[in-house]
Structures are given as C-alpha cells and as structure tokens.
Structure 1
Amino acid sequence: MTVSLVACGGSSSSSEKKEDTSDSKKQEASTEKEVTDITKMSDDEIKEAMKKEPAWGTTITAEYDGGDCTSGPSMAKALGYYDNWGLDVQIAAGTEITEALGTGKAQFGVHHIAHMLVPITNGMDIVFTGSAQTGCKSLYVLADSGIESTKDLEGTTVGMDSPIGGSSHNMIIRFFLADGLKQDAATCVQVESSAAIQSLQSGDIKACLLSDRFAKKFVDDGTLKVLRSITWDDDFKDETCCVMAMSGKFVKENPVISQVLTKCVMDAYMYIAENKDEAAQIMLDEGMVSGDIELTKYMLDQQNWAVSNADTKETIKAVAKDYIEAGIITSDWTVDKVVETAWHPLAEKVSTK
C-alpha cells in the first residue's frame, strides 16, 4: 500500500533537500535586476526586445504533469498564444517540477504552492511569476466511518496521493494546524489513488488526501465523504492553490520573454475562467485530462480560475506562516522573507469581457 511512512509533521522529501549557500545567493541575484515592463511597450517593441535575449529562437520547455489545475501552459499552447509571439514552446512530462526547473530540463510550469515553497527556501532557484487557480484536493473518509472531524484522526494513519514532503502532505499539516491539532497528530503514508478506497475499507488508513476529480465518483455513489477541503472549506477555498513557476536563472537572462510567457499562461487561465465549456472540450481533445465532458465541466466550475496576484501573495503569506510554525520551513525565515524570495509576479490576469 505504501512507499513511505512518517509522522505528518515530518521533514520534506528528498526532492526538497537543501543546496549550498551559493545557490541561495544565485537565487537572490536572479531577479534583482530591474527590467522593462512590457505593459508599457507596443507589441512590436516587445517582439524586438525578445529577439535580443538568449532564449529567442530556441525551444522553451514547460513541465506538465497532467490535470486541469496545472494546464495553463498546455492551454496557452493549444490556443496558439505562444505562436502569436513567435515563441517555440514544447510541453514535457515525466520530471518532478522542482527538479525540472532546477536542472534546466524545463524553464517553466505550474504546480502547487504547497509543493514548491519549501524547495525555494532550501535554495532552489525558482520564482513564482503568476497565479493559476484555487484548490482541487480534499481529505476524504468513508461515508460510514463515523469520523466527523480531523480530531477523530489523532493517533491514526492518514493516506495521501503524493510523497512525504509533497503538496498533499503539507495540505494535511495545514488542516491539522487550522483545527488546533499538532502537525504530527496522525501518521502519514503515501497511497496510490487507485489503492485508496481499498486501503480505507481495510482500515489500513482512516482518511486520504485525494484529487477531487478522482474522488467525485466515490462521493456520488456514497462511498466517500469530504472531511476537510481546500476546494470548498471557507478557510481555504479562496486561497490560490497553484502558481506559475519559472527558473530564476531563465528569468534573469530572459526578462522580456519571461514576462511574455507568463502573460500567455495568465491569458490561458482567463480563457478557462470565461469559457469553461470550450476549455473543458479542449482539455479532453488535447489529452490534458481524462474522463468525460460533464466531469470536466463540473471540476472547472468548482475552482476560481481568475484568482488574482494579490490573492496569491496573501496565500503565500498564509502558507509560509503555517510552514514556519510547523517547522517545515526553518525558523530563520520570516514570512516577509519567504514572500520576497518566492513571489515575483510578471503578468496579471486581464478579463476579455
């Protein structure tokens, strides 16, 4: 059932290990240079400026692990937004995003704040450049389990669909902290989504953090119920879940192209926000998601795809506060320092209506 086991307040995964201080210094320098704001330039001026940067004329890679939440880069490609600016962007999969950005296998992508914030504070040269959408995961229990709150999970084993130190692990910790529990109130284990129901029914785990898309059919048939959610609970539903992330080195070397790429992805998320039926069909046609059109439309309706950069900054503050309290981020960091290091927005979402 499991591949790893640790108390829920445990340390981060191996992908989030510390790098030496020289990496931190390089990260601090990666976005400190003032660059021209493309919102004050004409399209022709922007294109001329891009041609002077080293990434111009090369293939730029976006890491994409599938699903609707992180689909912004893929949607931008499907809609032709990169082509409009003369940018050659390929979508790649198969490499964990912090590794992909840190090693240069990819230059940008979209993923959970909960997954990437710790590696950034551990020296990874990654910056968040724009907001994606609100939440998509919840903590589920068997509908007939008798479990009514996270307090009922104290001393039990809780499953999650990603590794120790990953986004789901950190979400569980935030649920516990929000409910007045210790971060290690339960033992967390990784469970493949496909094995989650069996693991719950066998009693090996008492709850499991799952994608709402995966869990919906089991909620509909009465097998599962939501115990805690970043999608629907009042204290989490307005937080930004995912952000666009870029290699800090790439941003430093290609400041104009980086702004254009971020704009393309922000425009793609606004397209989803304002054209959900059409976006759902594109996601299915392009293989971004699996399932049927009604499920995809339902999931798009559950999230705020127009969440703002201001909201995202507040979310990073809230996450940083919880992570410092839980010891996930070391105490030599302050909330302001985390925000200053991670958050470098390069484009806003703009309505087309």
Structure 2
Amino acid sequence: MFGVVGLDRVIVWQDDAEVLQLLRYASERPHDSTELSARFGASRVAAAVAREWLQDPVELCRSYRIESGEIEVTAHCNWGCVSCPVATDPKPRRTMPMSLFEEIVGKLTAAGASYVTFQFFNEPTLDRYLSQRLEVLAHHGMPLALYTNASALTTAKIEDLKRTGVLKDLIVNIPAVDEAEFAKLTGSRSYHHTMGNTEAALRAGLPVHVVVNGVGARRERNLEEVERHFVPLGAQVYPSLTCDRAGELGGEYAQGVRVEGRLTGCGWPVQHVNISVTGALFLCCNDYYQREVFGHVGDGSIDELLSGEPAVALRRKVFGVDEAPEDFLCRRCHNQLPDFPARDFRPIATFG
C-alpha cells in the first residue's frame, strides 16, 4: 500500500505495486506512452495520465496550488540576527505603497490564497501603514500570519490586530530569554521591548507562537529557557529550522549544500507567492537578493503570472525538467536534498 500526494495535499492510496514501479520508471526521463503501456499495461498508464501523475514533459510544471502570499511590506529590519543575511548586508529602508498593497491583496484573494504574511528578512511592525493594511485584509477576509520580532508591537498595534480579526498566528522570533545572549544573537538592544510586547500580546489573548532560531547545543539550551518562560504564559514555543539561506550564511550556520546535475523539485514555488516591496514576483523565500524574478504584480492576475512562461521556465529548472544554471539558487539549498527531513516535496524516484 502506498499513497500519492497531490498539490491539494489529498492522498490517493494505491495497492497496485506496478503503479509505483510505473511512476518510478517514468520519473527518470521522458518515455513514449507506447513503451510504458507495453511494459506496465495500457490501463495503468491511462489511469496515471488521467490523475496527472504522468504528464507530457512540455506540460510539466504548469500546475500550482497557492497556499500563501508572502508580501514584503517593508524591506528593512531593526535587528541583525546572526542567523540572517541582514547582519552582514542590511537593506535600505523601503515601504510598500498602499495602492500596490491593495492591488496585491485583491489579486491574491481572487487566486484563492489561504493567508498572507508580511515577511521577507524584514520587520513588519516598523511599517507605518500596518493599521491600514490590516483593514484591507479584513475587507477581503484574508487571514494574516504575522512574523515579527515584536520590538515595535505597541499596544495600539495589538489592539488593531484584535479589532480587525485578521490575525491567524503571531509568530515571534525570540532566540533567547537571557538578555546578554539575546543581544549577541539579534544584534539589537530591544530585549525589554520584545519581551514586554510579547507578554502583552499573550495577555490580550492573541495566538502567540515563539520560535527559537539557532543551531546545535546552543539552540537546545536557549529553547529550554524560552519554554520555561513563555509556555506558562500560554505561548506555543518551538525551535525554528535555521538554514544558511541557500549559501548566504557562513560560520556555524553554513550547510555547504551543492547539488549537481538536474534538480529534484521543491514545494515552495508551487505553493507560495513571494512579492517584493516593489511588486516583483520572485521564486523563493531564501532568495535574499531576489535574483530569480518572473514578473510584476501589475502585469496580470496571479494565475496569469504563475502560469506564464517565465514562471514555468523557473519551475522546470527547480523540478529538473530542464537543466538549471550552475549558479542557480536551488543548487545551494537544503530543500533539494532527498534526505532533508522537512522537505515537503520528494520526487517519486527517491522513495524506497
């Protein structure tokens, strides 16, 4: 017995081992349908085609299912975390105009996005339009997962989050509760603001998740201390899967990933829409410098942009249909490693 998971996260269970062999065999390279039918049976091939488990290589990578819109409402951050490229190469202050934001949210709503975030290596509570943006989300019925360091999460902003009712989750980055350790890890002096504002959000009844960034024994020690402080207050606390952002970080965060040959797929480009502070659509949450751009939100609907040739061409590289350039972002990313435990997409050929 095995199951095939589609982009809609629905599992289709199968008990025919020959179907699994068919999918493994066909995943290695393009095959003529006549050959597949002769080897595995015409009925199996026809059923796999009907379920879109087998597709013409030309049509591959046109499918997607939008889960979230990742909107860069600000380009700047007031921290310089050691686990983030901002620490060594901070970006200048930029804020997304409200007119552009309204267009983006309207188009994401029409495309069926489940929720939005305001994150991309930035701090959204520094956004001078935050209150207005919440009103726009409320108008469209669009939930918000707010990733923040809470340093500027004032009482007024907490009240706005409660009043508008758009908050899905409040995810707060607190890598340590020891003040000196906190300062080392975040490069900031906002310890008391972050701690106090997070506790105020909990008292207000917001759904607070505290994430602990880091690696190794240091993170485990800090995680225990953060749990002791925040779990009794009602927060959910968990470690964050910290990575080197596709090779941008060195030192203890460096992963040294280098994937040769054809790439093997990733769930991110088919589930999440990354939109920059200027309205550009780009490939991935790990693309700090936004190198892999495939359109602008003003050029059409989200569906038109995601099904356009520039987007499809990028996904064909990510999924190994076409050879990716040697300097392609994904060659340095852990999401391309078949044994990466948090990988949400695995090619059929890698299953035993």
Please say whether Structure 1 and Structure 2 have the same fold, judged by a TM-score greater than 0.5: no
Which has more radius of gyration? 2
* Larger RCO, structures 1/2 (Cα 8 Å, 6+ apart): 1
TM-score if structure 2 supplies the norm length? Answer: 0.24
TM-score if structure 1 supplies the norm length? Answer: 0.24
More strand by share: 1
